[in-house]
């Protein structure tokens, strides 16, 4: 039977980085994936340019039932460590916005870098691997893989979440955690567009492609200042994706379409200068004309001139545009979600090493764990940081 120090299940961001680090630290590592390519999500990420980390990565940017869990790993392997690695490989990068770092050329560069790191660690890679059974043994674990048994001292589960099933996502990690008695916190799609109810959808659909810088506020008070994008299914854009991770079905979302404007003051000043100007044309100075026209058909903007706009109408208008209450119908779900919220309950894991406290040798890293970052490179940073923390323990164990 083939024997390894470490078997890593899942050759995505976390799995590849962990395998490479452990291999370079002297462990004999086997890296498995059910797909036919390494790092498929990395290749798709950031519009093909991989938003590989964020300059402002910090624990406050992560959602988890146990918000302290991510602190240790993020502090020990930081965004600066990963930037250093990328720079050593000569990969050119730039900050797009809000600390989000992207490759200048292609996400393939990150996958190639991780592949080379794995080669340096003499990691054995097996793609198209179907794991049919995992059993605990005295030495560690026996894994039945494409009908053959492999034995390992340590097993790292890096099989990711449920988002984008077309890219190999599977509930494998959750089932394995349950097999060993670990709790799985309810999972749901995160960083995902909202769908809308009819008849609102019928009206807003006509705006498909229109983007508006906005401030969105969730029911729990979480605020994001980025753009929203109208789509033929509902609402998307960075502000919506961010807020979706904080949204529960049935809740309303507050949308401020004019976050940088004293709207009442602007209308009063315009009324003095151009009393016969239509409200529609006045608002079009600050909002896309198509949006103003659409909101008028929804009777959210009265069809009047500025001098006809009475104080009650003006207050209602300010509320309508700066605290627009939208109730999403739902989300587009795992098909388009960037991440999965929930997952392996971190209270069963060590925050220093990612090992399952009750099952020595069994580790969970990356998205399969109940740690989910904001949009903007935070999720990859969690993958790198959790993988690194795990690899340090694997190296220590193999030397013990």
Ligand X SMILES: Cc1cc2nc3c(=O)[nH]c(=O)nc-3n(C[C@H](O)[C@H](O)[C@H](O)COP(=O)(O)OP(=O)(O)OC[C@H]3O[C@@H](n4cnc5c(N)ncnc54)[C@H](O)[C@@H]3O)c2cc1C
Q: Is 335 helix (H, G, I), strand (E, B) or coil?
A: helix
Q: Site residues for ligand X, window 188-217 (CB under 6 A)?
A: none
The span from the CA of 340 to the CA of 360, in Å, is 26
β-strands 148-157, 2-9 pairing? parallel
Only one of the segments 11-19, 111-119, 217-225, 288-296 lies at the binding site for ligand X (rule: CB under 6 A); that segment is 11-19
Q: Site residues for ligand X, window 73-102 (CB under 6 A)?
A: none
Minimum Å gap between C-beta 345 and ligand X is 16
Residue 237 within binding range of ligand X, rule CB under 6 A: no
CA within 13 Å, CB half, 339: 31
CB neighbour list of residue 298: distance below 8 Å, 6 or more residues apart: 200, 203
Only one of the segments 8-16, 180-188, 200-208, 307-315 lies at the binding site for ligand X (rule: CB under 6 A); that segment is 8-16
The span from the CA of 74 to the CA of 236, in Å, is 29
Residue closer to ligand X (CB basis): 46 or 237? 46
Residue closer to ligand X (CB basis): 54 or 217? 54
CB neighbour list of residue 5: distance below 8 Å, 6 or more residues apart: 22, 27, 28, 29, 152, 153, 154, 394, 397, 398
- Tally of helices (H runs) and strands (E runs) in the chain: 13, 21
Only one of the segments 10-18, 70-78, 246-254, 286-294 lies at the binding site for ligand X (rule: CB under 6 A); that segment is 10-18
Q: Site residues for ligand X, window 117-136 (CB under 6 A)?
A: 129, 131
Minimum Å gap between C-beta 165 and ligand X is 10
- Candidate list 4, 5, 10, 294; residue touching ligand X; CB under 6 A: 10
The span from the CA of 371 to the CA of 341, in Å, is 7
Give the interface size with ligand X as a residue count (CB under 6 A).
Answer: 37
Contact positions toward ligand X, by CB under 6 A? 9-15, 32-35, 40-41, 44-46, 50-51, 129, 131, 158-160, 163-164, 168, 170, 172, 338-339, 366-367, 377-380, 383
């Amino acid at each position: 039977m083939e024997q390894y120090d470490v078997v890593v299940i899942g050759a995505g961001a976390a799995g590849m980085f962990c395998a490479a680090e452990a291999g370079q630290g002297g462990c004999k590592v086997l890296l498995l994936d059910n797909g036919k390519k390494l790092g498929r999500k990395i290749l798709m990420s950031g519009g093909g340019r991989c938003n590989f980390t964020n300059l402002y990565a910090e624990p406050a940017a992560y959602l988890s039932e146990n918000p302290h869990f991510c602190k240790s790993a993020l502090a020990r392997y930081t965004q600066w460590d990963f930037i250093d690695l990328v720079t050593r490989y000569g990969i050119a990068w730039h900050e797009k916005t809000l600390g989000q770092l992207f490759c200048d050329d292609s996400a393939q560069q990150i996958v190639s870098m991780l592949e080379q790191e794995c080669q340096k660690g003499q990691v054995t890679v097996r793609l198209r691997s179907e794991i049919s059974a995992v059993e605990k043994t005295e030495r560690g674990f026996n894994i039945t893989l494409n009908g053959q048994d492999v034995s390992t001292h340590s097993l790292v589960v890096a099989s990711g979440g449920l988002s984008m099933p077309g890219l190999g996502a599977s509930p494998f990690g959750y089932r394995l955690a349950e097999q060993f008695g670990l709790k799985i916190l309810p999972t749901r799609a995160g960083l995902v567009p909202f769908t809308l109810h009819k008849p609102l959808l019928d009206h807003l659909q006509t705006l498909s492609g229109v983007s508006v810088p906005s401030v969105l506020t969730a029911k729990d008070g979480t605020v994001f200042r980025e753009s929203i994008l109208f789509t033929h299914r509902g609402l998307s854009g960075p502000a919506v994706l961010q807020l979706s991770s904080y949204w529960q079905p049935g809740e309303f979302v507050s949308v401020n379409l004019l976050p940088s404007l004293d709207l009442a003051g602007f209308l009063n000043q315009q009324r003095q200068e151009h009393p016969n100007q239509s409200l529609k044309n006045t608002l079009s100075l600050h909002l896309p004309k198509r949006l103003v026209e659409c909101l008028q058909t929804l009777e959210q903007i009265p069809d009047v001139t500025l001098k006809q706009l009475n104080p009650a109408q003006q207050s209602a208008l300010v509320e309508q545009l700066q605290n627009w209450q939208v109730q999403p119908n739902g989300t587009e779900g795992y098909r388009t979600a960037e991440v999965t919220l929930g997952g392996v309950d971190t209270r069963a894991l060590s925050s220093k090493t990612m090992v399952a406290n009750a099952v020595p040798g069994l580790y969970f890293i990356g998205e399969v764990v109940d740690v989910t970052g904001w949009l903007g490179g935070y999720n990859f940073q969690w993958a790198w940081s959790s993988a690194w923390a795990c690899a340090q323990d694997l190296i220590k164990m193999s030397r013990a």
